C-alpha cells in the first residue's frame, strides 16, 4: 500500500506539456482537424489569388493583403473551430469524464488543448506565409513582424477561449461543427478575413468591431503593410479582444462540462419526463 | 473508522447517502462499508441506484445528502490526491479511437505519481499482442480490457467497476472475472456493480442488493436472503421394500406415483439429513436420487427485489 509521500502528484506543468503532445497526435491522426487548420486556408489562399489576380487592396498587391488574412483564418480554424469540435467530441464520447477521474488537473487539460492550438496555428501560419512568399511574391514587413506576432498571439488566446466557452452550449457532437462555422463564418465575412470590405456602412463596421475577429484580422493584415509604423490595433479593438476573452474565461470557469449530455441548466429548467427517465434508467 | 472486533479498516464508508434528480429519489438513504482488500458488489436491476451511488463515490456526481468517505477523502471535493489513489472503469466509451493501445495506456500512466508498468498492465489485461493496434480496431471485449488497464495503470488502492462485463461473450466474461479475482491477491479494494448474479457469486466477498434507491439486503453471496440455511429442499426415492410412513423427521411430501420422489422444504437441513441417513443406514439401504438443493441466487434475488418493489410504494 502506497504511503502519502510516495503518492505526491506529478508536476502539473509536465502534465500540461504531455497534453500538448497528446492533442497534437490526435490532430495529426484526424483528417478533419488537419484539413481545417492547414489545408483549407492554404487552398483559399491559392484559389482566391487565382480568381482575383492583380486587384490591389489598400494600394498593396492582393496577395500581400490576403496572406495575413488567411493566417487569421488559420487561427479561427485551429483555435476556435477545432476547440469546439474536438472538445465537444471528447466530452460526448466520455473522454473528458474519463480524464476527470484521473489526477490530471482540469487546467492542465485546457492548457494542453490551448498549447496544441498554438502549435497548430504557428505551423499553419508559417506554411501560409511561406506559400505567399514563394508563389505570390509576398514581402514580409520585417519592422512589423513583432506587431503581427503579438496580434496573432492575442488571436490564438482569444479564439481558443471563445471556442472552449462555446462548447458549454453545444448539446451534442453533431451540432458542434454547424455551431462553430455558423458563428465563425458570418463574423469572418464582415471582419475583412475573406475579402476587404471597401467603405462599409457605419453600422456594419461598428458591428464587426464589437467582436474580436475584426481587430485581430485587421492588425495582422496591417502588419504586412510596409506603411505600418506603430501598433496597428486601436484601443477599442484591444478592448473587444480582452473583453471577449474575459467573458469566455468566466463562462469556462462556471459552466465547462466534463460529462456527456445536455447542459445542467437545460436539464434543470426543462426537467422533461424524457430526461428524467434517462437519468433514472442510467442510475 | 476501524472495527475493533475484526481489526479491519474500511476503504469506503457510506452513510445515509441520498441522490435526487428533480423529484426522483435515485438513491434514498443508503449506508454500507467496504473493507480494505474486499470485493464488494452492488447488485440490482436497472434504475436501482447502483450507478448513481458509484458515481458519487468516484467523484463524478454530487450527492444530495448523507456522507461519503473513500480512503478518508470526500470524493465530492475533487481532490487530486484522492484521484491518485482510485481507479475507475466506466460503463463505456471515453477512449481516443486514433491512439494505439500502448499510447493510450502510456498517456494515462503519465498522470500518476507512481504508475504500474505499461507493458505489464497491458499484458495483465490480455492485450499484449494488441499494443500497436489503434483503439478503434479493438472488439468490444478488448476495449473493455483496455478500459480496465486504464483504471489499473495508476496502481489504485480502490477500484470502481461499473458493470464490468455487460455486453461480453461468455469467454470474455470468464477472462474478465479471472482478472478481477486476481486483483484480490494484490490487496486492491474493489467496488463493482452488476446485474449478473453469477458474476456477483463468483467475485464478491459481500454483496449489497439495491432496489428503488434502497439497500435492501447485505450479506455474502452464499447467504443472501438466508439461502445458506433456509428453504433447502431434500429429495430422494424410496426403495420398494420400505414404506414412506416409517420415514423419520417428517412430514415428507409424498410422491404422486410409487416410483416418484419424497421431498421436504426445511430450514434445518443438517438435522433432517442426519436423521434420514441414520435411518437409511439402520435399514441398510441406499436412498436413490438423494439430493440437497439450496434455492438459487436468482430465486432469492427475485424474492428480495420483488418484495421491496411492493414496499417501496409505501415510501420506506
What is the residue extent of each domain of chain A? 11-282
Residue of B nearest to A264 (CA): B21
Cβ atoms B160, B59 nearer than 8 A: no
CATH of the domain at B214: 3.40.50.300
Closest CA to A18 of A103, A121, A123: A103
B13 lies in the same domain as B119 = no
In angstroms, the separation between the Cα of residue B202 and the nearest Cα of chain A is 24
Cβ atoms A212, A241 nearer than 8 A: yes
Percentage of chain A beyond pLDDT 90 is 61
> What is the residue-averaged pLDDT of chain A?
86
B261 lies in the same domain as B136 = no
Q: Which residues of A touch B90 (CB under 8 A)?
A: 94, 97-98, 101
Q: List the single residue in B48, B81, B110 with the smallest CB-CB distance to A7.
A: B81
Residue of B nearest to A2 (CA): B157
Cβ atoms B177, B203 nearer than 8 A: yes
Q: Say whether A103 and B112 touch across the interface (CB within 8 A).
A: yes
Whether B27 has its CB under 8 Å from any CB of chain A: the answer is yes
Torsion-angle region of B72 (φ positive above 0: left; ψ -120 to 50: alpha; else: beta): left
Q: Strand, coil or helix: what is A140?
A: coil
B93 lies in the same domain as B215 = no
Terminal CA-CA length for chain A = 32
Q: Say whether B83 and A101 touch across the interface (CB within 8 A).
A: yes
B309 lies in the same domain as B288 = no
- Domain carrying residue B211: 1-85+183-228+296-316
Flag whether the pTM goes above 0.90. no
B17 lies in the same domain as B137 = no
Cα gap A78→A88, rounded to integer Å: 15
Chain segment B211-263, per-residue pLDDT in tens: 889 998 898 888 876 766 667 788 888 877 777 777 787 777 777 776 778 88
- Determine which of B90, B102, B111, B132 to mutate to test the interface with A (most A C-beta atoms within 10 Å): B111
B81 lies in the same domain as B48 = yes
- Tally of structural domains, chain B: 3
User: Confidence class of residue B46 from pLDDT cuts 50, 70 and 90?
Assistant: confident
Residue B114 in any domain: the answer is yes
The partner residues of B206 in beta bridges, in order of sequence, read B40
B284 lies in the same domain as B301 = no
Residue B165 in any domain: the answer is no
Q: Say whether A283 and B47 touch across the interface (CB within 8 A).
A: yes
User: Confidence class of residue A139 from pLDDT cuts 50, 70 and 90?
Assistant: very high
Chain segment B103-120, per-residue pLDDT in tens: 999 999 999 999 999 999
B200 lies in the same domain as B303 = yes
Residue B127 in any domain: the answer is yes
B80 lies in the same domain as B3 = yes
Percentage of chain B beyond pLDDT 70 is 90
Please give the C-alpha separations between residue A106 and each of A17, A78, A99, A164, B160, in angstroms, as whole numbers. 13, 21, 9, 13, 21
DSSP string, B52-101: HHHHHHHTSS--SEEEEEETTB-GGG--HHHHHSEEEE-SS----TTSBH
- Determine which of B71, B113, B133, B136 to mutate to test the interface with A (most A C-beta atoms within 10 Å): B113
B300 lies in the same domain as B194 = yes
Closest CA to B272 of B236, B248, B243, B246: B248
Residue B175 in any domain: the answer is no
User: Confidence class of residue B160 from pLDDT cuts 50, 70 and 90?
Assistant: very high
Residue of A nearest to B92 (CA): A94
DSSP string, B3-28: BTTTTB-EEEEEEEEEEEETTEEEEE
Q: Is the pLDDT of residue B292 over 90?
A: no
**For residue A82, what are the contacts with CB-CB under 8 A and spacing of at least 6?**
A27, A33, A36, A37, A117, A120, A163
Phi, psi of A152 (to 5 degrees): -65, -40
In angstroms, the separation between the Cα of residue A109 and the nearest Cα of chain B is 11
Q: Say whether B114 and A18 touch across the interface (CB within 8 A).
A: no
B118 lies in the same domain as B37 = no
In angstroms, the separation between the Cα of residue A264 and the nearest Cα of chain B is 11
Mean pLDDT of A116-145: 94
Q: Which pLDDT score is estimated for B96? A: 87
The partner residues of B160 in beta bridges, in order of sequence, read B88, B191
Closest CA to B208 of B50, B6, B38: B50
Q: Angle at which helices A176-190 and A213-222 pack, to 10 degrees?
A: 50
Cα gap A37→A50, rounded to integer Å: 21
B93 lies in the same domain as B145 = yes
Amino acid at each position: 500500500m502506497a504511503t502519502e509521500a510516495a503518492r505526491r502528484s506529478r508536476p502539473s506543468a509536465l502534465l500540461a506539456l504531455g497534453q500538448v503532445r497528446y492533442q497534437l497526435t490526435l490532430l495529426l491522426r484526424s483528417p478533419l482537424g488537419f484539413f481545417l487548420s492547414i489545408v483549407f486556408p492554404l487552398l483559399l489562399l491559392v484559389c482566391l489569388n487565382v480568381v482575383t489576380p492583380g486587384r490591389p487592396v489598400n494600394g498593396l498587391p492582393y496577395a500581400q493583403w490576403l496572406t495575413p488574412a488567411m493566417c487569421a483564418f488559420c487561427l479561427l480554424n485551429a483555435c476556435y473551430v477545432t476547440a469546439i469540435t474536438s472538445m465537444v467530441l471528447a466530452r460526448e464520447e466520455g473522454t473528458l469524464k474519463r480524464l476527470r477521474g484521473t489526477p490530471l488537473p482540469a487546467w492542465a487539460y485546457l492548457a494542453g488543448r490551448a498549447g496544441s492550438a498554438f502549435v497548430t496555428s504557428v505551423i499553419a501560419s508559417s506554411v501560409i506565409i511561406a506559400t505567399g512568399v514563394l508563389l505570390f511574391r509576398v514581402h514580409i514587413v520585417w519592422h512589423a513582424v513583432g506587431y503581427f506576432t503579438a496580434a496573432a498571439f492575442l488571436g490564438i488566446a482569444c479564439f481558443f477561449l471563445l471556442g472552449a466557452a462555446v462548447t458549454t452550449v453545444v448539446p451534442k457532437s453533431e451540432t458542434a461543427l454547424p455551431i462553430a462555422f455558423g458563428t465563425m463564418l458570418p463574423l469572418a465575412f464582415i471582419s475583412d478575413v475573406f475579402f476587404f470590405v471597401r467603405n462599409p456602412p457605419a453600422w456594419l463596421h461598428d458591428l464587426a468591431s464589437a467582436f474580436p475577429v475584426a481587430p485581430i484580422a485587421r492588425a495582422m493584415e496591417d502588419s504586412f503593410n510596409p506603411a505600418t509604423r506603430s501598433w496597428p490595433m486601436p484601443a477599442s479593438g484591444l478592448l473587444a479582444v480582452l473583453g471577449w476573452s474575459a467573458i469566455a474565461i468566466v463562462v469556462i470557469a462556471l459552466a465547462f462540462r466534463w460529462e456527456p449530455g445536455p447542459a445542467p441548466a437545460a436539464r434543470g429548467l426543462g426537467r422533461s419526463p424524457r430526461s428524467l427517465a434517462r437519468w433514472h434508467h442510467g442510475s | 473508522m476501524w472495527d475493533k472486533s475484526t481489526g479491519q479498516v474500511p476503504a469506503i464508508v457510506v452513510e445515509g447517502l441520498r441522490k435526487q434528480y428533480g423529484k426522483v429519489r435515485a438513491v434514498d438513504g443508503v449506508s454500507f462499508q467496504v473493507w480494505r482488500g474486499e470485493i464488494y458488489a452492488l447488485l440490482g436491476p436497472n434504475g436501482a441506484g447502483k450507478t448513481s451511488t458509484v458515481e458519487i463515490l468516484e467523484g463524478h456526481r454530487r450527492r444530495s445528502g448523507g456522507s461519503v468517505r473513500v480512503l478518508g477523502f470526500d470524493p465530492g471535493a475533487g481532490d487530486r490526491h484522492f484521484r491518485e489513489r482510485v481507479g475507475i472503469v466506466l460503463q463505456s466509451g471515453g477512449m481516443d479511437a486514433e491512439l494505439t493501445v500502448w499510447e493510450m495506456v502510456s498517456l494515462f500512466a503519465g498522470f500518476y505519481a507512481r504508475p504500474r508498468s505499461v507493458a505489464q498492465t497491458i499484458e495483465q489485461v490480455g492485450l499484449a499482442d494488441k499494443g500497436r493496434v489503434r483503439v478503434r480496431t479493438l472488439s468490444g471485449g478488448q476495449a473493455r480490457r483496455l478500459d480496465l488497464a486504464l483504471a489499473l495503470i495508476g496502481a489504485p488502492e480502490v477500484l470502481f467497476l461499473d458493470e464490468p462485463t455487460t455486453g461480453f461473450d461468455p469467454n470474455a466474461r470468464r477472462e474478465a472475472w479471472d482478472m478481477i479475482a486476481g486483483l484480490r491477491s494484490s490487496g486492491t479494494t474493489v467496488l463493482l456493480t452488476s446485474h449478473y448474479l453469477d458474476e456477483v457469486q463468483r467475485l464478491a466477498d459481500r454483496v449489497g442488493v439495491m432496489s428503488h434507491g434502497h439497500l435492501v439486503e447485505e450479506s455474502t453471496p452464499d447467504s443472501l436472503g438466508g439461502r445458506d440455511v433456509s428453504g433447502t429442499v431434500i429429495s430422494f426415492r424410496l426403495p420398494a421394500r420400505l414404506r414412506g410412513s416409517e420415514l423419520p423427521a417428517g412430514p415428507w411430501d409424498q410422491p404422486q406415483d410409487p416410483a416418484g420422489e419424497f421431498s421436504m422444504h426445511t430450514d434445518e437441513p443438517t438435522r433432517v439429513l442426519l436423521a434420514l441417513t441414520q435411518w437409511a443406514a439402520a435399514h441398510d439401504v441406499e436412498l436413490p436420487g438423494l439430493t440437497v438443493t439450496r434455492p438459487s441466487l436468482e430465486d432469492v434475488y427475485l424474492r428480495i427485489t420483488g418484495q421491496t418493489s411492493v414496499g417501496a410504494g409505501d415510501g420506506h
